[in-house]
Amino acid sequence: MSVTLLASSAAAIAAAVQNGSATAENMVEASFDRAREVDVGPSGLNCILSADINAARSAASTATKSGALAGVPVVLKDNIATPTLFTSCGSRILEGYISPYEATVARKLREAGAVLVGKSNMDEFAMGSSTEHSAFGTSRNPLDRSRVPGGSSGGSAAAVAAGVVPIALGSETGGSVRQPAAFCGIVGVKPTYGRISRFGLVAFASSLDNIGVFGRTVDDAARTMEVISGDDTALDATSVASAVPKYSGHAGDLKGIVIGKPKEYFPLSLPAATRERTDRAFEALRARGAEIRDVSLPHTDYAIPVYYIIAPAECSANLARFDGVRYGLRIEGEGMRAMYEATRSQGFGAEVTRRILLGTYVLSAGYYDAYYKKAMEVRELIRHDFTKVFAAGVHALFTPTTPTTAFKIGAISDPYEMYLSDIFTVTANLAEVPAMSQPIGRIDGLPIGGQLIAARFDEATMFRIAYALEAELGAEAHV
């Protein structure tokens, strides 16, 4: 029964634990059994970086049986601090590091009865779109192991898609939850900036980072969002003290809802198959009563260059703390400078090094105004595009999550080409608005995702639309 239950939903697991027909211990054993089946070996998914079955059993034995996620096994991305498992950020420079404190989201999950069963693989310090930049090996897509699961939260997405856990947490700076969700055929949610506390999330780019949610279904993601959202201003100054509405359980039609179709997300270069699946989703939304309206976000073309100035600049400042002095890897040299150089050159991988160098350059004397300051000004224009559209009566936008399905491992070697895989997702991070990806069909057997974007702090409307679309698409929405 536990195996069948694990493959169902977070709500079903919690209900079974609450009524006594299953236990949290049963679910932990089932999760570890499934991980051993799919994750290890030369062709394994390599989605879990650290796990401790004894610690998980102990946590399960004391987990509350009345919580919203009672007995639900959960995986956290390896950049979310936990005092029981490593927090390495997929990097050699933090290999084996144990945090002395617990992230707010980890605590909230635990208090809701969820049980941590592992930390997931990721692109090093969340810098990547394929999980090929992890210091601990590439993760694989459960639907085609020759392909990437997306990134940087690819391990979390793969764990959910493979049935190791029904829900998982990742982090988003430019699409690192929505893109792997699309590639793996599951639901991925990025909240409004400030909706979910970032306390305990190892910083990449502080003005862009968000903790996000993966679920097999819209309902899994909605219930998890309800648990981990909310005010945490005592620990995270960017947390917003805004009431958290009910996200789960929405059903019914979309009468009175206006959904925008931004022309910039449907260029002539968009693959025909992606366009066809997205158009089919628009018809499903119309069938539920929604009005579809053509809109424009005119500064969209600037999103990738703006993002790849702001994010590396902030990363270069945040990662300066990893110097071999206080924690993590330390490689001795002849003097302090030599120690710094040896530690950082051997501890950081190529992609992290590239972004630190780029960020340091754009922040340097003589270039700050020309690059970082200008990028922040254009960011405001992108933010204004969204504000204007939503103020005109549009409740949400719908677009493809990614231009294509998951690509082959090793297929993209050019960093700039890899950066372009975030072309439809980075705008939501720049504008600080909520967005999510959900399956809308398959192309040559591989899932393709559709993206909903809503106004700031209007996740409730976003989930209402997502529930309706999932119901209307039926089997296509459950890849």
Residues 197-215: tens digit of each pLDDT: 999 999 999 999 999 999 9
The answer to whether residue 9 sits within a structural domain is yes
* 183 inside domain: yes
24 within domain boundaries: yes
Q: Is 49 helix (H, G, I), strand (E, B) or coil?
A: strand
**Confidence label for 474 from pLDDT (cuts 50, 70 and 90):** confident
Please check the confidence at residue 65 and state whether its pLDDT lies above 70. Answer: yes
Q: Does the structure show a pLDDT above 80 at 246?
A: yes
pTM: 0.97
- Containing domain of residue 106, as a range? 2-228
Average pLDDT over residues 315-342: 91
Domain count, the chain: 1
Smallest Cα–Cα separation from 29: which of 71, 84, 67, 65?
71
Q: Helix axis angle, 24-38 relative to 53-62, nearest 10°?
A: 160
Residue 164 binned pLDDT confidence (cut-offs 50, 70, 90): very high
- Whether the per-residue pLDDT at 479 is higher than 60: the answer is no
Neighbouring C-alpha atoms within 13 Å toward the C-beta of 412: 19
Please report the pLDDT score of residue 326 as a whole number.
86
CA distance 171 to 169: 7
pLDDT value at residue 1 = 63
pLDDT band at 475 (very low <50, low <70, confident <90, very high): confident
When pLDDT is averaged across residues 239-248 and rounded to a whole number, the result is: 94
Average pLDDT, the chain: 96
Cα distances from 229 to residues 213, 246, 284, 325, in angstroms, run: 11, 11, 30, 34
Once rounded to an integer, what is the mean pLDDT over residues 298-320? 97
CATH number at residue 128: 3.90.1300.10
Mean pLDDT over 146-150 rounds to 98
Instruction: Decide if pLDDT at 129 tops 70.
Output: yes
Distance separating alpha carbons of residues 131 and 137, to the nearest angstrom: 8
Q: Are 412 and 350 in contact (CB under 8 A)?
A: no
Q: Identify whether 112 is part of a domain.
A: yes
For residue 147, being part of any structural domain is answered with yes
In tens, the pLDDT along 385-443 reads 999 999 999 999 999 999 999 999 999 999 889 988 899 999 999 999 999 999 999 99
Tell me the pLDDT tens digit for each residue of 338-393.
998 999 999 999 999 999 999 999 999 889 999 999 999 999 999 999 999 999 99
The verdict on residue 7 lying in a domain is yes
- 445 in a structural domain: no
Q: What is the structure's pLDDT at 193? A: 98
Residue 65 lies in a domain: yes
Q: Which residues are catalytic?
A: 77, 152, 176
Structure tokens at 305: 């260059």
Average pLDDT on 305-324 reads: 96
CB-based contact 432:454 (threshold 8 Å): no
